[in-house]
């Protein structure tokens, strides 16, 4: 399944686990619709996807509608980005970063 850049409204835990199992890095953006910084991060992540193309999947997960997943990964503030590859958490950060920093982190932390 080729997941490119999408916002996930609600997701079952089993589906989430299958998404992060990918050989390709998967960046999850835990966000909330009411969060100002989350709205700023969206366009930045789109630019990251445009730059890295098929080398990464980027998913946005609404914490208010997916509280079980947010709790499992101890997401206390939004936005929180978590980078996964082969079901392993490689990196996490709360807050907004610029495009260049996000790309650098993805390339350094993943097998890409």
For this structure, is 61 an active site residue? Answer: no
Between CA 82 and CA 101 the distance in angstroms is 14
- Select which of 20, 26, 28, 38 is catalytic: 38
CA–CA distances in Å: residue 37 to residues 2, 15, 42, 52, 79: 28, 27, 9, 23, 7
Taking a C-beta distance cutoff of 8 angstroms, is the pair 62, 31 a contact?
A: yes
- Select which of 3, 11, 35, 103 is catalytic: 35
Torsion, Cα of 75, 81, 83, 84 (10° steps): 40
Between CA 77 and CA 8 the distance in angstroms is 18
For this structure, is 38 an active site residue? Answer: yes
Residues belonging to the active site: 35, 38
């Amino acid at each position: 399944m080729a997941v490119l850049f999408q916002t996930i409204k609600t997701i079952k835990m089993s589906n989430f686990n299958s998404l992060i199992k990918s050989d390709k890095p998967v960046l999850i953006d835990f966000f909330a619709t009411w969060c100002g910084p989350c709205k700023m991060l969206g366009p930045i992540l789109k630019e990251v996807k445009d730059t890295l193309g098929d080398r990464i999947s980027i998913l946005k997960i609404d914490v208010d509608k997916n509280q079980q997943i947010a709790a499992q990964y101890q997401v206390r503030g939004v936005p929180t980005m978590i980078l996964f590859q082969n079901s392993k958490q490689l990196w996490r950060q709360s807050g907004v970063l610029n495009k260049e920093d996000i790309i650098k982190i993805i390339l350094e932390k993943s097998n890409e």
